[in-house]
Amino acid sequence: MQHFVNEYEYTPDVLEESVGAWWDCMFKAGYRSMLVIFILIAALSIVMKRPVLLLVELAPLFIIVLFKLKKKKSIQIEKERVDTLFRNSALTYRVEVGEDISVTSAKGNNHIPFSDVENYIETKNLIILFTKGSMTVTLDKKGFREGTKEAFMSFLTDKIK
């Protein structure tokens, strides 16, 4: 059985990338839907020769802006939680992956079975596992102490189908 250990500091940059990626992934369908509606309204206004319909374009744009504002607010709230809980001390995570996923931090230790992992994405600096309950497990690509990022990605591909 393969074993991976990933350690990283939960900095504001990691927090922002992780929470932002969760929002982008969770609301990807919403963004796409609003874009399709925007295009359909534009096409309809041209076909019907009714430029006044372009005012309706404001609705999907407004919803997209709301998504972006909610994402920004969510990141801000998570930063406040971390600041409140850890009062400017470093928050370090250790993620061990083998038979299951073990996440250890100053908050405690949690074990997550692979059956609870629904999906994963790779961002610029992170690998983010999406679990049941709209939760995430974040790993820093540069934080592997045992195993490599490439081997871990191959392992994930085999493990999560």
Q: What is the pLDDT of residue 150?
A: 96
Closest to 67 in 3D by CA, of 39, 33, 92? 33
Beta bridge partners of 127: 122, 139
Average pLDDT for consecutive 10-residue bins of the chain (161 residues)? 93 94 87 86 82 78 89 94 83 94 91 93 96 92 96 91 67
Q: What is the pLDDT of residue 43?
A: 84
Model pTM score: 0.81
- Phi then psi dihedrals of residue 126, to 5 deg: -130, 160
Q: What is the pLDDT of residue 92?
A: 93
Q: What is the pLDDT of residue 161?
A: 67
Q: What is the pLDDT of residue 54?
A: 73
Give the integer Cα–Cα distance in Å for 97 and 104.
12
Q: Per residue in 105-126, is it b (16+ CB within 10 Å) or e — as a string?
A: eeeeeeebeeebbeebeeeeeb
